Structure 1
Amino acid sequence: MSITINELVSLSQGRLCGEAAAEQSFDHITLNSAELREGSLFAALPGLHAHGAEYAEGTPAAAILTDAAGHKILHDKGDSRPVIEVEDIRAILGVVSAAIYGNPSHQLTILGVTGTSGKTTTTYLLEAGLMAEGHKVGLIGTTGTRIDGVAVPTKLTTPEAPKLQELFAMMLAEGCTHVVMEVSSHAISLGRIAGTRFAVGGFTNLSQDHLDFHNTMEEYFEAKAGFFRADSPLRAEKAVIMVDDEWGRTMSSVAGQQCLTVSASGAAADVQVGEVSTTLAGMQEFSLTIDGHSHHIELALPGQFNVANAALAVSMASAVGSDMTAFIHGIAGVGVPGRMERIDEGQDFLAVVDYAHKPAAVVAVLESVKAQTSGRLGVVLGAGGDRDATKRPLMGGAAVALADFVIITDDNPRSEDPALIRNAVLEGAYGAAETAEHSPVIKEIGDRAEAIIAAVEWAQTGDAIIVAGKGHENGQLVGNINHPFDDREHVRNALHARAKRSGADA
């Protein structure tokens, strides 16, 4: 796994500046100057605040791939190492990275899942089902990266192209045959998946999110469509698309004849979900018909949206020739960290932690939990800073429309004033309360730990509470500091304190 500098110049259609031996080769590429080692190729990209070329000095990089601005910085600093100058680094970075690592995706069966909600759950279901078939599987997504179930440290939902191709190579070397991964809209727009061969691409749904990056829902859709359009170099070889929303139906038209459509709501589709029932043990059961064959599905994950996620996962597995019996058996008991995760410490009410951090996801989770309880419904939620601000009042409104007790708190404020974020969520909450058929109680508690305690203290026998927004995350970003914080731990602590106090009062 290596490529010569002349091959790189040809592949990138760049210009070689400086002296380099024709046989000079590279087996490692990175955007991170701290990860450079002897013989590395440094991809120096322009950033929001500084150009990557500013960090090349003193590194062991053997050559630098950059643009004209980066080349000028290096020249001005007197850097004499070979430079491959290209017009647009991101446009060629994926293909170059894949070539350096020997195009590992061509030797793997890669299943990619995109959409607004459900990506993580769908990839977990795919991972479990494929492993039940006997495959060694890699997973890349929001909750991290795993190889055959063992965690590998990564930061982004879809890593930058050099790290992604390095992970594929690592997974291949470890004996993986399949990789399941989340494909974010950022990854498609920024070319992170360029150079990757996807055996199948799945689409879950589309709802408001990331409008700080895409500006409009139409732009957001077009980014996702890059994974399915016939003329897109990023297109997966096969497409499996949920058509339970209008965006999904439009996406199926974009994908064309290579598309397999799926519905869990009775919409016209190639794959149909039958009637869903729930067993006394809490398992969801339903039938799924693919290519005229009916399959019986059992699922531990609650909620109609998880029926849709499971239907998509099974359909994607079918598209790559899976053993349906083994695959379906493997997904039955799957649980996903921070996704509809029940926290049970013996209390007489339901406590759930979920990652829902966008309006449609909040609605879906609240509706699902509401269907499981005969009592009142409480929710704790906030909104993240430095992200799509237009969804904040929508989230507050969604919570009030369905819950009896709504606590607006801090999520990850990042660089923003937390109070201003809460005010935006509260604006939507109070607006929705004016037309609500019930009389929801709305409270503002900025301290997230205190908000969770208040929700636990509010709950009575038969009620349900949801702590939404952070799910699996184990930190709270305030400014530039990531403070240790896990919603699940705080819910458990609050339940323990309540139980202890109740025991003392008895």
Structure 2
Amino acid sequence: MPTRPGCGENCAATEHRPGTSVDGPATDRRRRPSSGVDVPDEHSPCAGSLPRVPAKLEGKVATAPPRPSRTQPVAVSELATTVDAHLTAPDRAHVQVGGVTLRAQHVRPGDLFAALPGTRVHGADFAAQAVANGAVAVLTDAAGAEKVHDVPVLVHPDPRGVLGRLASRVYGDPSAKLAVWGVTGTSGKTTTSYMIDSALRAAGRATGLIGTVETRVAGDRLDSALTTPEAPDLQALLAVMVECGTTDVAMEVSSHALRLGRVGGVGFAVGAFTNLSQDHLDFHPDMEDYFRTKAELFDGRARTEVVCVDGEWGPRLVTDHTVTVATTKPAHWTATDVTVSATGEQTFTAHGPDGVTLDVALRLPGDFNIANALLAVACLHSQGVPLDAVREGLRDVQVPGRMQRVDEGQDFTAVVDYSHKPAAVALALDAVRARATGRVITVLGCGGDRDTAKRPLMGEEAARRSDVLVVTDDNPRGEDPALIRAAMLHGALAVPDDERGEIVEIGDRRRAIEHAVSLARTGDVVVVAGKGHETGQEIAGVVHPFSDVDALTDAIRGATR
């Protein structure tokens, strides 16, 4: 199984993104070790009568993920039974477990430490540190059990696969006390989750949000290091939300989360599928494996399944009980009477079962956002959310870094978008082309240490749809950025001359954005694609502060002085 460069203890594979860090905010990260300082219980979100994330956590990834202020300890023997694990010390079956972590430096007294096998090291190598920090039990495999001493060990052949269920038991099965709305797919997870969250809030629900851009608890925000947190962190987070009085949680479910068991033990009220296109083929051997992993959300985990069937993959998920959504073919939910304003705002009419209709207005441009909104409508209607609240929530929703306009009074349109895969690049550029009266000028890079096959494809899609394409860097990580750009240029230059515009290579991302802005004239559209909401640029293992929104804003201000 692939591993993230620099990954150590218990790390098999992640979709960790720059601009966020498990050790703290990107601006503080300089290869430093974790401080090992936990957030004390009295500072837990919603502790006492204060239903909020503490100020020290707002806008950050906490050194140790938040936990509920209270748990009911569970006997280690009961946990062994829950996950069908062998308990090595039956005479210590009474030992009580009050928390779970897979990071030795985050262990609190009374915790169970999950020592998972990795591709480079075994988590059990850190068991002694975990025990010294107060761990009272360890979950691991047979190889790991040989390295653990002094505490009872739960031995299971697939400890990662059962970790979610175990953590759920320790934290009181929090998802059973919430309505969890899970959204999976290649593109649209974030936008659809935000749409669901916005409509639920309009309906008066107390919501939580877990995803690529942020984690939100009781209206307060934490940056997200992973699209879907690791299993014990997710269960603790859901328990915090229960403690805060949350009723509903909109959550992105990545393929990494499904393959690595992060959503084990989570019961979903709704599971939704957006679409599937090439991505993460550094993690999945092929598209079929990628699809099968996504399909795991629809193997009985969700009480209601809602699937967009516009593409080739969605129809394969459909059963007699599936609610279907489509913008291009018959389905339970369809869209008609689509209108698009000069500024990209859209309206359409959603048609559902039994003659249900809803007039929808969106600030977000692009045909793909019609599909996202229709999927959200179908999910919300399936759970009885009032249509007036759905209409209001969709009208007001805005998503950071998703077709986000930057307006400094300039006479051209400027957009930042997270599109970082071939199909998403094509959709975003098609959306802006549809309303551009001038040229489309695109700034695009490709990430390092990730799916290499998509690089020429992204270059090709952007070249076909841009009058000017500026190829630049985007989180080269441990790779030579020039080689990444060369792969993109290979795809871009393969497009016949009469089917593409000008192609420019500028490695420095800030300079690339400034160049694109310097070219813009009245009616043009400048699209800066790839990073979206991110606030860091990872180069050679160091994350440097960088925001496409800020860089584009600065470039426009500088050009219009």
Q: C-alpha distance in 2, partners of 1:384/1:282?
A: 29
Q: C-alpha distance in 1, partners of 2:219/2:468?
A: 39
Q: Structure 1 residue 372: deviation in Å? A: 1.4
Contact 1:19 1:81 in 2 (8 A): no
Q: C-alpha distance in 1, partners of 2:498/2:505?
A: 21
1:277 is aligned to 2:347: no
Which residue in the other structure is 1:69 paired with?
143
2:133 pairs with 59, 81, 88, which one? 59
Which residue in the other structure is 1:86 paired with?
156
Amino acid at match of 1:245: G
Contact 2:97 2:137 in 1 (8 A): no
Q: Structure 1 residue 22: deviation in Å? A: 3.5
User: Gaps spanning 5+ residues in structure 2: where?
Assistant: 1-71
Which residue in the other structure is 2:473 paired with?
410
1:34 is aligned to 2:109: no
- The Cα offsets for residues 344-383 of structure 1, whole Å up to 9 and x where unpaired, read as 1111101100000000000000000111111011101111
* Greater displacement, 329-338 / 197-206: 329-338
Q: C-alpha distance in 1, partners of 2:500/2:246?
A: 54
Which residue in the other structure is 1:240 paired with?
306
Q: Structure 1 residue 303: deviation in Å? A: 1.0
Q: C-alpha distance in 2, partners of 1:133/1:269?
A: 26
Which residue in the other structure is 1:446 paired with?
507
Amino acid at match of 2:489: L
Amino acid at match of 2:147: I
Which residue in the other structure is 2:191 paired with?
121
Q: Structure 1 residue 263: deviation in Å? A: 0.9
Amino acid at match of 1:301: L
Amino acid at match of 1:54: D
Which residue in the other structure is 1:362 paired with?
425
Which residue in the other structure is 1:109 paired with?
179
- The Cα offsets for residues 158-181 of structure 1, whole Å up to 9 and x where unpaired, read as 111101111110001100010110
Q: 1:484 to 1:145 in 2, by over 3 A?
A: same
1:493 is aligned to 2:559: no
Q: Secondary structure at the match of 2:314?
A: helix
Task: Please list, as runs of the form range in 1=range in 2, the aligned pairs for 1:254-273 lying within 5 A after superposition.
Answer: 256-265=319-328, 267-273=329-335
Q: C-alpha distance in 2, partners of 1:275/1:210?
A: 35
State the Cα RMSD in Å. 1.3
Q: 1:284 to 1:153 in 2, by over 3 A?
A: closer
Q: C-alpha distance in 2, partners of 1:27/1:126?
A: 33
Q: C-alpha distance in 1, partners of 2:500/2:157?
A: 59
Which residue in the other structure is 1:381 paired with?
444
- The Cα offsets for residues 82-120 of structure 1, whole Å up to 9 and x where unpaired, read as 211111101211111111111111111111000000000
Q: C-alpha distance in 1, partners of 2:531/2:141?
A: 38
Q: Secondary structure at the match of 1:332?
A: helix
Q: C-alpha distance in 2, partners of 1:493/1:388?
A: 31
- The Cα offsets for residues 232-260 of structure 1, whole Å up to 9 and x where unpaired, read as xxx311111111111112222xxx11200
Q: Secondary structure at the match of 1:407?
A: strand
Q: C-alpha distance in 1, partners of 2:224/2:408?
A: 32
Contact 2:344 2:435 in 1 (8 A): no
Amino acid at match of 1:333: D
Which residue in the other structure is 1:308 paired with?
371
1:286 is aligned to 2:286: no
Q: Structure 1 residue 140: deviation in Å? A: 0.3
Q: C-alpha distance in 2, partners of 1:22/1:153?
A: 38
Q: Secondary structure at the match of 1:238?
A: strand
Q: C-alpha distance in 2, partners of 1:251/1:402?
A: 32
1:209 is aligned to 2:283: no
Q: C-alpha distance in 1, partners of 2:317/2:442?
A: 33
1:97 is aligned to 2:97: no
1:462 pairs with 491, 510, 523, which one? 523
Q: 1:153 to 1:368 in 2, by over 3 A?
A: closer
Contact 1:404 1:438 in 2 (8 A): no
Contact 1:2 1:102 in 2 (8 A): no
Which residue in the other structure is 1:504 paired with?
none
Q: Structure 1 residue 283: deviation in Å? A: 3.0
Q: Secondary structure at the match of 1:286?
A: strand
Q: 1:182 to 1:110 in 2, by over 3 A?
A: same
* Greater displacement, 466-475 / 185-194: 185-194
1:325 pairs with 372, 377, 388, which one? 388
Q: C-alpha distance in 1, partners of 2:110/2:118?
A: 24
- The Cα offsets for residues 458-497 of structure 1, whole Å up to 9 and x where unpaired, read as 1111111100000000001112111100011000111111
- The Cα offsets for residues 214-237 of structure 1, whole Å up to 9 and x where unpaired, read as 11111111111111135xxxx311
* TM-score between both structures, scaled by the size of structure 2: 0.85
Q: Secondary structure at the match of 2:507?
A: coil
1:17 is aligned to 2:88: yes
Q: Structure 1 residue 12: deviation in Å? A: 2.0
Pairs aligned (count):
486
Q: 1:380 to 1:154 in 2, by over 3 A?
A: closer
Q: Secondary structure at the match of 1:65?
A: strand
Task: Please list, as runs of the form range in 1=range in 2, the aligned pairs for 1:146-165 lying within 5 A after superposition.
Answer: 146-165=216-235
Q: C-alpha distance in 2, partners of 1:322/1:262?
A: 17
Task: Please list, as runs of the form range in 1=range in 2, the aligned pairs for 1:417-432 lying within 5 A after superposition.
Answer: 417-432=480-495
Amino acid at match of 1:169: A
1:478 is aligned to 2:539: yes
Q: Structure 1 residue 282: deviation in Å? A: 4.8
Amino acid at match of 1:283: E
Q: Give the 4+ runs in structure 1 shifted more than 6 A.
A: none
Q: C-alpha distance in 2, partners of 1:146/1:326?
A: 20
Amino acid at match of 1:3: V
- The Cα offsets for residues 127-170 of structure 1, whole Å up to 9 and x where unpaired, read as 01000000000100000200233113542101111011111100
Q: Secondary structure at the match of 1:126?
A: helix
